[in-house]
Amino acid sequence: MKKLLLFTLAALMMLASVACTPAPATTTTEAEAPAETAAEAPVAEEPAAEPKLIGYYKDAADDYYKAGYEVFAALAQGEGWEIIDVVGQGTAPEQIAAIENFIVTGVDAIVCVQNSPQASAECIEKANAAGIPIFFATHNPPSDPLPTGFAGYDWVQTGKYAGESASRMV
Amino acid sequence: MPLKEVLRLCNITKSFPGVQALSDVSFDLREGEVHCICGENGAGKSTLIKIISGAYEPDAGTIEVNSQVVKLDPKKAHDHGIQTIYQEHNVFQHLTVTENIFTGLEVSKLGVVQKKEMERRTREALEQLHCYFDPSTMMSDLSSSEKKMVEIGKALVFNRKIIILDEPTSSFSSSEIDNLLHIIEVLKEKGMGIIYISHHLDEVFKTGDRVTVLRDGRVISNYDICDIDEEKLIRDMVGRDASAFYNREFFKHGEVILEAKRITGNGVEDVSFSLRRGEILGVAGMVGSGRSELMNLLFGAEPLESGELVVLGKKVNFKAPENAIKHKMCFITEDRQFSGLFLTHSIARNTVIANLANEKRIFIHPKEDIALGDEYIKRTGAKAENALVQVVNLSGGNQQKVVLGKWFLTNGEIFIFDEPTRGIDVGSKQEIYSIMLRLLKENKAIIMVSSDMPEVISMSDRIIVMKDGRLVAELERDEISEESVLKNSIGGKTDDRSKKKCS
Amino acid sequence: MIEAKRSVAKQNWFKRHENATPLTVLVCFTVVIVILQLIMSGERGKVEFPSFITPVNLLNILMQVSVPGIVAIGMSMVIIMGGIDLSVGMLASLVSIITALGISVWKLGVLPSILVGVASSVVLEMLVGFVISRTKVEPFIMTLGAMIAFQGIALLLCNSREVVMQGELDFLKANLIDGAIDPVNGLNLTIPPYVVIFLAIVIIIWAVMKFSRFGRRIYAIGCNPNAAYLAGVNVKNTKLLVYAVHGLLVGIGAVLLLARINVGIITNGQNMEIDAIAMAVIGGIAMSGGKGNIWGTLIGILLLGSISNAMNMLRLPSEVSFVAKGVIIMVAVSASYLSPSIKKLFSSARNT
């Protein structure tokens, strides 16, 4: 009796959550596209016959990361691809766990807004071992091991430019 | 002229995990009568009360109030005019008398609480009960019997016609008992129906109109008081002749096993006495005279401030009960639910806990706990299916036996009993007395605190009397009598055993 | 007579066994996820073996729950004893930062740094435990304050910056079964040492709680401290010892976390206290104390860890994972309260 009850409750709950999930391909809001769009466009243009499955991990629920994601999603869905969208709470264990889960799910590529370069080093190793290309967005990943690609700014250089231009104004 | 029926229970059945508490119980109450319920512990009295008060729902059977079938919960019970006054105080200690009566049912106009009106009604009710303390008195400042009066006052204020009194005179003096019985007459005249549960058969005969006897969850018999006597009642409750109730065997005393020399601490001052093997040293005195405080001091639960304690020939200064246990002492506390038992744990776990102090091994298989639990269930005669039963599901008498089992396992030599048979029925009482005498035969020693006069007088070899934290008298066997104990306790606790006169 | 008792006991095992409920929830959950995966992959065109129960995913789950799990085991002991500890998250962060500093900045060497880290955890917990055991201070408040204090100390020590390591603790996550391949999807199977340590801790603490005098005393204190004291239990010192052991476990967990993450940063242990408490509670540890056992906690650990993992496997966004976690916690905890009333509902319906 107890078993049946729990089973039913659990099943109902799961079906409810599945029903509540918006279909992966419906986010089409236009956001202020940062320069990342340009860098990510080449990645999106793969004239493959099968629709790709992309695992996208964002370190935190940040509007900046979300904006980048939505542009990527719009482009990817144009190609008929499916994206698994995972958001963390700003901790490294979550990033590592998310990437591990993507690998088991068998995604075709991973895009990651990282928590820290050390956590990412771990992720790159695992992705490479599984033969899955891994890209990083926004935050600079480590250079050893090397990721498949990166879309973002050289923040240190950008800071230098900003400092120089500010000093010229003074 | 037959009185109107206010309450009727038909074929009530109730069971709990491992226990069939009530089977097919029928009971009725008329207005203006006192219907007593008597029975051993485990007979089902508490369960029956909880069903009438709405705290439990019966598994089967019906309840009728004023000839109307009802389904009860505590609130509905109040609405139908049922007031339950439990053995343990169900009061708010930090609130006043008025607040205790009106909490949850405050009188208010447009959301504003009418304090004066509530106080007026409270005062009115208290006066009918011959209580003249101010309604704004803090509950914690009242005596036990005054607190009971406040609970009865609640019934008067809300015009509840059915009152259940569960062991109301537990810690009353004899004058307080007389007062209560007088108040009950007042309530009868007001047309209230009263259910009176008590082990004190003298009260049953003084105040009851009818009596129902329960045994093992069934109704055994139902009488008009005038048709029976105490012997018959006891026989129905216990199923055996209880005339051998207070007779005990006396044994030769051995060496001195414990000696207190001018010990002071925990509110107790300058107490000296000695305890010998083979004897029961009774400790008498009024409530608050320091008896339990003395026991806690002896057992090391409180620090010794000055004086000397010698146990088994060695001078000791217990830092904690752990040390007392290692010195072969056992303490059966006054309130087993509060300080003697682990209610949500099994009998097995309850049995082994104290002996861990003597256990040298680091790893012990739980199977052993269960085996020990089973063994001591047998040794103490506790009624339980097996050692896995949760202690909370046992009756008072059986719970006390589990406590005894725990201490027997430690192989103690000195047993401190604080109110050994409180809240326990006639039959189990006798079993506990015979267990105590068995201990004496095994050359152990007992210190027994008791508020029950017949118990302390008939079970003790000698008695020490406490008053205001001091030992004021030591009575040898031939000096023991109700008068001598009383005179030394001062506070008057007489046991009037006269029977009710029937027309 | 005894045979009859034993068979009755066997029949009622399910009803009476403490862990029946969390185990049922775990099994039902797994079955539901597997079915959903089969349905969803079928919709996509080809029915595949559910990735949720592939060996590589099961090992992933173990890796992901190892550290929170060790903390949850320690937390179980504390809760059974009638206390609680909200500071474990920040304490873990603090210990990981201290150990990382020891290795990278203070150059103490790997083993000494680990010892310093774990020792600091034990000492800090004992300080907190000392106050809790000797006074009437509420553990909830005391450990709440400790949590904030630990956070402050951690940030002071690392200057609010992360402490980078060069992989000195990699030996703790080396693959013990290197070369093993998952038969279903061909991925590498990994069992790092920290998973083994986690399982070893589960077994050791289970043994202590079930067989030792210490364990029995913990249950007694959690159920009724007064009765425990009068039965000869040294309540104060037992409480202190429980906090000390708990500190040891948190310290070990923090070091293993550092190995997995390779950087000492304040967010390492963030929210771990919530997970640890949730795992214990789902596993049947009563917040009031005196009830529950370590196997139950293990079930709670596996279940909670499985939820986020399963949400990923089902390709659901992580917002759903939070809802699912919360709902499962509520279902698991109330199942034991609901079932008698629901049983009655069905039996009275049958009677009418």
Q: Mind listing the pLDDT tens digit for each residue in C321-336?
A: 888 888 888 887 786 6
With touching defined as 3 or more inter-chain CB pairs under 8 Å, the answer for chains B and A is no
Sheet (strand B329-332) strand order:
B329-332, B414-418, B445-449, B280-285, B462-467, B470-475
Which range is most confident: B15-29, C144-158, C280-294? Answer: C144-158
Q: Is A106 on the interface with C (CB under 8 A)?
A: yes
What distance in Å separates the CA atoms of residue A120 and residue A129, rounded to the nearest whole number?
14
Percent of chain C with pLDDT over 90: 50
The bridge status of strand A53-58 relative to strand A109-113 is parallel
**Position C7 confidence tier, pLDDT thresholds 50, 70, 90:** very low
CB burial of residue A163 (10 Å; 0-12, 13-18, 19+): exposed
Q: C57-102 pLDDT, tens per residue?
A: 999 999 999 999 999 999 999 999 999 999 999 999 999 999 999 9
Q: What is the pLDDT of residue C245?
A: 97
Structural Rg of chain A based on CA atoms:
19
Q: Which of B344, B362, B386 sits opposite C212 (nearest CB)?
A: B362
User: Does position B386 have pLDDT exceeding 60, yes or no?
Assistant: yes
Q: What is the pLDDT of residue A151?
A: 85
Partners of B13 in beta bridges: B60
Q: Which fold has domain A2-20+50-169?
A: Rossmann fold (3.40.50)
What are the residues whose beta carbons fall under 8 Å from the beta carbon of A34, sequence distance 6 or more?
A64, A67, A68
Q: B368-378 pLDDT, tens per residue?
A: 999 999 999 99
**Angle in degrees, 0-180, between the axes of helices C235-261 and C213-223, rounded to the nearest 10:** 110
User: Does position B168 have pLDDT exceeding 70, yes or no?
Assistant: yes
Q: How many CB atoms lie within 10 A of CB C111?
A: 10
CA angle C165, C170, C173 (to 5 degrees): 135
Q: What is the pLDDT of residue A39?
A: 41
Q: Which of C54, C316, C328 sits opposite A21 (nearest CB)?
A: C316
Is C290–B339 a contact, with Cβ atoms under 8 angstroms apart?
no
The bridge status of strand B218-224 relative to strand A149-152 is unpaired
What distance in Å separates the CA atoms of residue C206 and residue B383, rounded to the nearest whole number?
32
On average, the pLDDT of chain B sits at: 86
**Residue C333: closest CA among C302, C290, C273, C292:** C292
Q: What is the pLDDT of residue B128?
A: 85
Dihedral sign for Cα atoms in the order B253, B259, B261, B262? negative
**What's the predicted TM-score (pTM) here?**
0.73
User: Does position B445 have pLDDT exceeding 50, yes or no?
Assistant: yes
What distance in Å separates the CA atoms of residue C166 and residue A142, rounded to the nearest whole number?
12
User: Does position B326 have pLDDT exceeding 70, yes or no?
Assistant: yes
Q: Which residues of C touch B322 (CB under 8 A)?
A: 232-234
What distance in Å separates the CA atoms of residue C189 and residue B47, rounded to the nearest whole number?
60
B265 contacts B305 by C-beta, under 8 angstroms = yes
Q: Which of B321, B356, B388 sits opposite C216 (nearest CB)?
A: B356
What distance in Å separates the CA atoms of residue B343 and residue C226, rounded to the nearest whole number?
12
Q: B463-496 pLDDT, tens per residue?
A: 999 987 889 899 998 888 766 776 677 432 334 4
Task: Output DSSP code: residue B43.
Answer: S
Helices (H), chain C: 2-11, 13-16, 20-44, 55-80, 88-104, 110-134, 139-158, 193-211, 213-223, 225-230, 235-261, 272-282, 294-313, 318-351
The predicted model gives B15-34 an average pLDDT of 87
Structural domains of chain C, ranges and CATH numbers in brackets: 63-333 (1.10.3470)
Q: What is the pLDDT of residue C75?
A: 96
**Residue B2: closest CA among B35, B30, B37:** B30
With touching defined as 3 or more inter-chain CB pairs under 8 Å, the answer for chains C and A is yes
What distance in Å separates the CA atoms of residue B480 and residue B470, rounded to the nearest whole number?
19
Partners of B446 in beta bridges: B280, B415
The bridge status of strand B445-449 relative to strand B280-285 is parallel
Q: B88-143 pLDDT, tens per residue?
A: 777 888 888 888 888 878 887 888 888 888 888 889 888 888 888 888 888 888 88
CA angle B392, B396, B399 (to 5 degrees): 60
What distance in Å separates the CA atoms of residue B181 and residue B152, rounded to the nearest whole number?
13
- B17: nearest CA in chain C? C16
**Residue B279: closest CA among B477, B452, B472, B455:** B477
Is C224–B341 a contact, with Cβ atoms under 8 angstroms apart?
yes
- C216: nearest CA in chain B? B353
Q: Which two tokens stand for residue B417?
A: 């009993």
The predicted model gives B420-441 an average pLDDT of 87
Among all chains, which residue has been given the structure tokens 């990981």? C96
**Position B295 confidence tier, pLDDT thresholds 50, 70, 90:** very high
Peptide bond between residue A145 and the one before it cis (omega within 30 degrees of 0): yes
The predicted model gives B148-160 an average pLDDT of 88
The residue count for chain B: 503
Residues of chain A short of pLDDT 70, as ranges, are 1-49
B272 contacts B471 by C-beta, under 8 angstroms = yes
Q: What is the pLDDT of residue C177?
A: 79
The predicted model gives C154-159 an average pLDDT of 91
Q: Which residues of C touch B361 (CB under 8 A)?
A: 213
What distance in Å separates the CA atoms of residue B439 and residue B469, rounded to the nearest whole number?
29
B14 contacts B188 by C-beta, under 8 angstroms = no
Per mean pLDDT, which range of B88-102, B393-407, C239-253 is the poorest?
A: B88-102
Q: Which two tokens stand for residue A72?
A: 């990527």
Task: Output DSSP code: residue B3.
Answer: P
CA angle C155, C159, A166 (to 5 degrees): 125
- C317: nearest CA in chain A? A85
Q: B116 to each of B98, B131, B135, how far by Cα in Å? A: 10, 19, 10
User: Does position C9 have pLDDT exceeding 50, yes or no?
Assistant: no
Three-state DSSP state, B26: strand
Count of B–C CB contacts within 8 Å? Answer: 85
Q: Which of the two residues, A21 and B399, has the higher pLDDT score? A: B399
Neighbors of chain C with 3 or more C-beta pairs under 8 Å: A, B
Q: What is the pLDDT of residue B95?
A: 87
Partners of A55 in beta bridges: A84, A110
Among all chains, which residue has been given the structure tokens 């040294």? C234
Q: What is the pLDDT of residue B3?
A: 77
Q: Which two tokens stand for residue C21?
A: 């409920």
Q: Which two tokens stand for residue C47?
A: 């029915």
Residues of C (92-131) whose Cβ lies below 8 Å from A? none
Q: What is the pLDDT of residue B468?
A: 77
Q: Which of C207, C216, C223 sits opposite B344 (nearest CB)?
A: C223
Q: Is C41 on the interface with A (CB under 8 A)?
A: no
User: Does position B244 have pLDDT exceeding 70, yes or no?
Assistant: no
Partners of C212 in beta bridges: B363
User: Does position C225 have pLDDT exceeding 80, yes or no?
Assistant: yes
**Position C346 confidence tier, pLDDT thresholds 50, 70, 90:** low
What distance in Å separates the CA atoms of residue B450 and residue B457, rounded to the nearest whole number?
10
Q: What are phi and psi of A127, to 5 degrees?
A: -65, -40
Task: Output DSSP code: residue B209.
Answer: S
Domain ranges of chain A: 2-20+50-169
Per mean pLDDT, which range of B33-37, B190-194, B393-397 is the poorest?
A: B393-397
The predicted model gives B235-261 an average pLDDT of 73
User: Does position C320 have pLDDT exceeding 70, yes or no?
Assistant: yes
CB burial of residue B191 (10 Å; 0-12, 13-18, 19+): middle
